[in-house]
Amino acid sequence: MATYSKLVRIVDRQALIDAVSDLSSSKVVGVDTETTGLDPLVDRIRLIQLAGDRLDRVFVVDLFELGDACIDPLNKFFTGPQVKVFHNAKFDLKFLRRAGLRVSPPVFDTMIASQLVTAGLQVGGHGLNDLVRQYLGKNLDKSSQMSDWSRELSDEQLEYAARDAAVLPRLRAALAPLLVRNGLVDTAKLEFDCLNAVVDMELNGMRLDVERWQALTRQLKAEMQRAAAELQTMLRGASVDEVSLFGPEYQTVNLDSTQQVLDALRSLGIPVQGTSRAHLTSLASDYPVVAALLEYRDIAKKVQAFAESLPTFVHQVTGRIHPTYHQLGASTGRFSCSDPNLQQIPRGVEFRSCFVPDPGCKMVIADYSQIELRVAAEISKDARMIAAYRQGQDLHRLTASLVTGKDIGEVTKDERQAAKAVNFGLIYAMGAAGLRAYARDTYGVEMTMDQAETFRHRFFSAYKGLGEWHRSVAASRQMWTRTIGGRLRSWRNDPKLTGLLNTPVQGTAADIVKKALALLAEALDGTDVRIIGSVHDEVLLEAPASKAEYAAELLKTTMEKAGAHYLKLVPIVAEARIADSWAEK
């Protein structure tokens, strides 16, 4: 598949300067890299391929030949006005950054563009080869992809490298009209603009106080063993004689097997439907063995999923944890995170206090205040919610006063807590039964079925706009939704009402966080304040102690500015703090 006529291998500085000059005639330049491995913290870039859309040549820059002589000319190009087209830009940007090269917008990522236009519908892959096949009707030979790029390069390798870059401007030309047609230009720009922040978060990672973590792990494991032994004895209650006859090894239950645990509970005469927490909580007060099981589960989860696994992710070179952020990992537009998933580290102080800044540094942490409720107020245009937020009122307290009939000043702590469950549950059209269960399990709030029904009724009498929004979405029978920023999600089969309501709210919150990250990456470029993580409504920075105040102020104002970019009726508030670990409030 010939997509270019000439491959120009660049091995000296002057040739590179000439090449960059030639490329200035192109508005769009495909960029790809070949690296000696997959880890930007260990491996190195061998080649950078540049393919201008107005040239029939592809420049293949050999970094092993050029060394640091490439930095200035390439930085001139990468900060220039041309659209730099990548496929899976995050991968290349991380390696480029490590080589001292920073790419400024405009950037176009064909993988992200493809994910956006399919809007959450599964359509096969978004690999480069998938896109070339789909949009250009050709097949790419990827056989050189995993070849050894650290030695003398064969013609075949060079051709492969050039071809991957050459195809990118053409892919962009195919994808850009689809973004336009689907109203996704702003969303695409948002995603492209926050690439540098994602690169920051992955390259910087977070520091784990390993000794502290290991001490925690030892303690949790001891607790787990105690809990397991106790539970094991209680589960064998019906067959104590057998145990005394055949020894303690007899009839042990695999505590991690729901099947065996269920059988054991039933053989004790306990009427269990399933072994999930929802089934068990109501039985815990009557059956000590059930309480023991819940306690064991609690500790076992912490040991197995977190305590033992996290240290395996500490990087050999940096000593930090570098997770992978999946920019479009969730179909609402949120990030997902893996290897490890730092977005689900338990909230408890004992865990989060192990995440610490480097010596001499502070963590600067900010989160949005009730962002989803605020977005729901904006989308539904509910007059009462909007007024409350404009006046800086506490919405949970307001809801408590509306459903109890009390004055705002007389609302108790417990009532406010109950109202939290009411707010979060009911904005997405939860039923009374669901509300009751949700309030109990999530907030420890007990309410009768009648109370739940009454709360629900009063809630929608108070927030009429919210109810109207629910009715209009239910009546629309739409197969798609959009966030305020225009992000699209489509369904193949009839979506549930709750999904139709939740997606634009969660997605708009994601738009806001991404906008904040994009602004931050730009504002912090060239400083020693680092973006180290993001958890849905929270952004974490690490800064030298002397700059922590500045960073906190910048973080708060930037996050609020991002909110104001999307929300016009409701103010968005972010709260920042300076801390010596992730745990401090």
Q: Which stretch binds DNA (CB under 7 A): 71-79, 195-203, 301-309, 560-568?
A: 301-309
Q: Is 243 in the site for DNA (CB under 7 A)?
A: no
Among 160, 213, 424, 469, binds DNA (CB under 7 A): 424
Cβ-based neighbours of 267, under 8 Å, separated by 6 or more: 238
Q: How far is the CB of 293 from DNA (least distance, A)?
A: 8
Does position 441 bind DNA by CB under 7 A? yes
Burial of 413 per CB tally in 10 Å (0-12, 13-18, 19+): exposed
* Binding residue (CB under 7 A) for DNA from 339, 358, 446, 528: 339
Q: Does residue 506 interact with DNA by CB under 7 A? A: yes
Q: Smaller CB distance to DNA: residue 169 or 507?
A: 507
Is the Cβ of residue 49 or residue 503 nearer to DNA in the bound state? 503
Distance CA 554, CA 419 (A): 33
Compute, in degrees rounded to 10, the torsion defined by CA atoms 228, 234, 238, 242. 50
Q: Which of 5, 214, 225, 282 binds DNA (CB under 7 A)?
A: 282
Q: How far apart are CA 268 and CA 255, in angstroms?
A: 15
In angstroms, rounded to a whole number, what is the distance separating the alpha carbons of residues 511 and 484? 8
Q: Is 467 in the site for DNA (CB under 7 A)?
A: no
Task: Please pick, from the candidates 341, 404, 417, 557, the single residue that binds DNA as defined by CB under 7 A.
Answer: 341
Separation CA 265–CA 275 (nearest Å):
9
Instruction: Please give the span between the terminal C-alpha atoms of the chain, in angstroms, as a whole number.
Output: 58
Report in angstroms how near the CB of residue 334 gets to DNA at its nearest: 6
Size of the residue set binding DNA (CB under 7 A): 65
**Given the complex with DNA, which of 166 and 576 has the nearer CB atom?**
576
Nearer to DNA, 355 or 428 (CB): 428
Element (H, E) at 417: helix 413-426
Q: Which two tokens stand for residue 489?
A: 């999600």
Q: Does 258 bind DNA (CB under 7 A)?
A: yes
Nearest to DNA of 31, 376 (CB atom)? 376
Residues contacting 38, CB < 8 A, separation 6+: none
Q: Which amino acid is at 489?
A: R
Give the Cα separation of 194 and 371 in Å (integer).
Answer: 20
* The one among 496, 527, 528, 553 contacting DNA by CB under 7 A: 496
Question: Does the footprint of DNA cover residue 476 (CB under 7 A)?
Answer: no
Does residue number 331 form part of the binding site for DNA (CB under 7 A)? yes
Stretch that binds DNA, among 106-114, 132-140, 296-304, 355-363 (CB under 7 A): 296-304
Q: Write a three-state SS string for 110-149.
A: HHHHHHHHHCCCCCCCCCHHHHHHHHHCCCCCCCCCCCCC
User: Which residues of this protein are in contact with DNA, per CB under 7 A?
Assistant: 254, 256-260, 273-279, 281-282, 294, 297-298, 301-302, 304-305, 309, 326, 329-332, 334, 336-341, 343-348, 367, 424-425, 428-431, 433-435, 437-438, 441-442, 496, 498-499, 502-503, 506, 535-538
